Amino acid sequence: MEPFHHHVFVCTQDKPEGVTCCTGSGSWQVLRALERELLSQGLDNDVQLSTCGCLGLCEEGPILIAYPDGVWYHKLEVSDVPEIVSSHLRGGKVVARLAWTDAPAMKAMALEHRNHFRAILKARDHAGILPDDLNEMLRGFMSSRAVLTALELNAFTAVGSGASAEQVAQKIHADSRAAEILLNVLVSLKLLEKKDGIFHNTPASARFFCEGSPDNARPALLHTVNLWDRWSTLTDAVHAGTAVSSRSRDSEGVVSFIAAMDRNAKERAASVVTAVGPAGIRRMLDLGGGSGAYSIAFARAIPDLHSEILDLAEVVPLTQGHILEAGLSGRVTTRVGDMLRDPLGENYDLILVSAICHMFSVEENRSLFARAYRALAPGGRFVIQDFILEPDKTAPRFAALFALNMLVGTRSGSSYSEPEYTAWLRDAGFSEIRRVRLAGPAGLLLALRA
Ligand SMILES: C[S@@+](CC[C@H](N)C(=O)[O-])C[C@H]1O[C@@H](n2cnc3c(N)ncnc32)[C@H](O)[C@@H]1O
Ligand code: FES
């Protein structure tokens, strides 16, 4: 029994540069046009749209298959989409001029393609050639570095509503030959477009990388630029077993770090508040609260909550700015301090450590948990949000990579596993320890002071 009237597959297989494939022939554009057209013809709830991998008919792409009729359309263009939707998906009448009905030819082409592909793989394997996916992983830094440099130089803002390489070079005080090379790469990465020698921002770049856009993420993304410097010391850090970069964050670094934290936190805060639940929380302590996004979200959800944010001296003025902007200065307050050394206070109903534990060693976390236990009122809750590893510490990949991020950035921080957290919490006296899996790379651990 089909749950949808039609199920439509569009091949969106990408292939190495120079190899014919549906993506290269415009299948994503066809798919997007299909989404728009289904919506505008009121059919989006009747037609299930899916992408699919190579069907072996790459020379004939973009390919679209419409089920339950089993009609294969080929060589599609965006301009064909309204007719397919209105005639076939709405009216049940196949668009004969676009349908490919020569089944024996289709099968022969698909089989030939498959055999050819298998032969190539076998030959490459025989010759000991490095597989493409390994190559891509090894060279992945090139694209990343190109974008980070463009962000660092504010090149997207310089491109603005259209500029030549020379104009961009002048604005960002760069060499014009080098600027052109960089801008060309950004075009190849689909972050810019180029027409008649003039570079233009794509809608996404204009939205997320340019000054003046309300969604400009550049201030936060500059934190990733800073991470690059630290990651380039990884080899030495692995030798030394600890961070070797002696560079501490300057004030610009602190601003971009807190901006990056704020972006993440704002995205997740509502789901964290829901997972923890508001019941019984009047006094909250937000250790290393950063921008204050979590305290602000809890204060908005619980009208009589007072939250205190404890953070370092260089961060607290930024925290205060966010609190002021949220209009919550009366109920969200700040305290400058070192959570590892200074008294935490007492009688809290909730203590939150979000993105904190990975900065510290096992012993520092154990001690912090024990002190947090004593700072809670009976019945109070301790909430950890972090990148929590599976027991053998090899997954999720982001959490595993983040352990390296801490190796290059801290004295003895790391990502930790759920069994480690659970053991530390138990030893500190907590009970009813519960894991909540949230969307995204971080998860929660909730524990109770009985
Ligand atoms: C990764 S950020 C997390 C910010 C916030 N909790 C969040 O989830 O968005 C870590 C925060 O801990 C603060 N911090 C680091 N070491 C600290 C310490 N010893 N005492 C107090 N705050 C500290 C940093 O200044 C920063 O604001
Ligand atoms: S890439 Fe679409 S059929 Fe091969």
Closest ligand to 52 CA?
A: 2
pLDDT at residue 250 in the model: 80
- The whole-angstrom separation of Cα 337 and Cα 17 is 54
Q: For the segment 381-403, what is each residue's pLDDT rounded down to a tens digit?
A: 999 999 999 999 999 999 999 99
Range 247-253 average pLDDT? 78
Rounded mean pLDDT, 395-412? 97
pLDDT at 249 > cutoff 80: no
Give 193's strand partners. 200
Distance 287 CA to ligand 1 centre (A): 7
Average pLDDT over every residue of 140-146: 97
Write down the pLDDT at residue 252.
84
pLDDT of 251: 80
Mean of pLDDT values over 91-111: 96
Dump pLDDT digits (tens) for 21-41: 999 999 999 999 999 999 999
- Worst-scoring range by mean pLDDT, 13-17, 208-212, 264-268, 296-300? 13-17
Pocket test for ligand 1, best of 285, 308, 341, 356 (most atoms within 8 A of CB): 356
pLDDT band of residue 441 (cuts 50, 70, 90) is: confident
Q: For residue 426, how far is its CA from the centre of ligand 1 (angstroms)?
A: 24
Q: What percent of the chain has pLDDT over 70?
A: 99
**Residue 290 to residue 322: CA distance in whole angstroms:** 10
Examine the pLDDT at 82 and tell me if it is beyond 80.
yes
Model confidence band, residue 225 (pLDDT cutoffs 50, 70, 90): very high
Say if residue 91's pLDDT is above 80. yes
Q: Is the CB of 55 under 6 A from ligand 2?
A: yes
- Does the Cβ of 289 fall within 6 Å of ligand 1? yes
| Cα–Cα distance, 326 to 323 (Å, whole number) | 5
CA separation for the pair 416, 385 (Å, rounded): 11
Q: What is the structure's pLDDT at 74?
A: 97
316 in ligand 1 pocket by Cβ < 6 Å? no
Does the pLDDT of residue 352 top 70, yes or no?
A: yes
Cα 240 to the center of its chain, rounded Å: 30
State yes or no: pLDDT of 2 exceeds 80. Answer: no
pTM (two decimals):
0.88
Predicted confidence band of residue 245 (pLDDT cuts 50, 70, 90): confident
pLDDT > 90 in the chain, percent? 94
Going by C-beta distance under 8 Å and a sequence separation of 6 or more, which residues neighbour residue 194? 183, 184, 187, 200
Residue 1's pLDDT band (cuts 50, 70, 90)? low
Instruction: Give the confidence band of 186 by pLDDT, cuts at 50, 70, 90.
Output: very high
Given a cut of 90, is residue 16 above it in pLDDT? no
pLDDT score of 253? 86
Q: What's the rounded mean pLDDT across residues 268-277? A: 96
Token pair 């008294």 is found at 343
**Is the Cβ atom of 299 under 6 angstroms away from ligand 1?**
no
Task: Give me ligand 2 centre to Cα 437, in Å.
Answer: 37
Q: Mean pLDDT, to the nearest integer, of 69-80?
A: 97
56 CA from centroid of ligand 2 (Å): 5
**Predicted pLDDT of residue 27:** 97
Determine whether the shortest distance from the Cβ of 21 to ligand 2 is under 6 A: yes
- pLDDT above 90 for 282: yes
